[in-house]
């Protein structure tokens, strides 16, 4: 399945937006997790591993607790969602377009259904990727 590239805004403060792109990747071998790479114009890109269900729910309602949360913005001309990422090193709020993300996520569920996403999962690789991946700079 091809990755999804989205134009989104990082909210630097209440009034300042930093436009950027993000690449969302889906691997059927790790279907429960979406890899999101925030492509910075300057400096290293940041990679986060985010639960597919969290993203899917977040386009329509509050989703997630802890380091990753997502929820829809107030209704407007272009439906969008907030994505909040927090770690010891990073706190970032992004506004992203809802429709292309929701359509792409729906396609991932047609590829691997929610009920089947844990079948055949290599837990050692999954945990290694999970522990080494989020918030780390890409080499």
Starting at the earlier edge strand, list the strands of the sheet with 33-39: 68-72, 80-86, 91-97, 4-11, 17-26, 33-39, 46-51, 136-137
- Name the token pair of 93: 């709020």
- Name the token pair of 106: 């729906």
Q: Is the pLDDT of residue 134 over 80?
A: no
Q: Backbone phi, then psi, for 122, in 5-degree steps?
A: -85, 100
- Ordered structural domains, the chain, with CATH: 4-137 (2.30.31.20)
Q: How confident is the model at residue 139 (pLDDT cuts 50, 70, 90)?
A: very low
Residue with tokens 């999804």: 4
Q: How confident is the model at residue 128 (pLDDT cuts 50, 70, 90)?
A: confident
The confidence score (pLDDT) of residue 121 equals 63
């Amino acid at each position: 399945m091809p990755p999804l590239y989205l134009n989104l805004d990082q909210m630097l403060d209440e009034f300042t937006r930093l436009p950027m792109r993000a690449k969302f990747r889906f691997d059927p071998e790790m279907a429960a997790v979406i890899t999101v790479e925030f492509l910075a114009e300057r400096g290293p890109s940041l990679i986060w591993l985010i639960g597919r269900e969290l993203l899917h729910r977040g386009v329509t309602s509050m989703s997630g607790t802890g380091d990753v949360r997502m929820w829809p913005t107030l209704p407007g001309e272009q439906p969008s969602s907030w994505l909040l990422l927090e770690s010891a090193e990073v706190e970032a709020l992004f506004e992203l377009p809802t429709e292309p993300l929701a359509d792409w996520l729906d396609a991932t569920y047609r590829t691997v259904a929610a009920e089947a996403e844990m079948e055949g999962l290599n837990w050692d690789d999954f945990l290694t990727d999970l522990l080494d991946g989020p918030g780390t700079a890409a080499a």
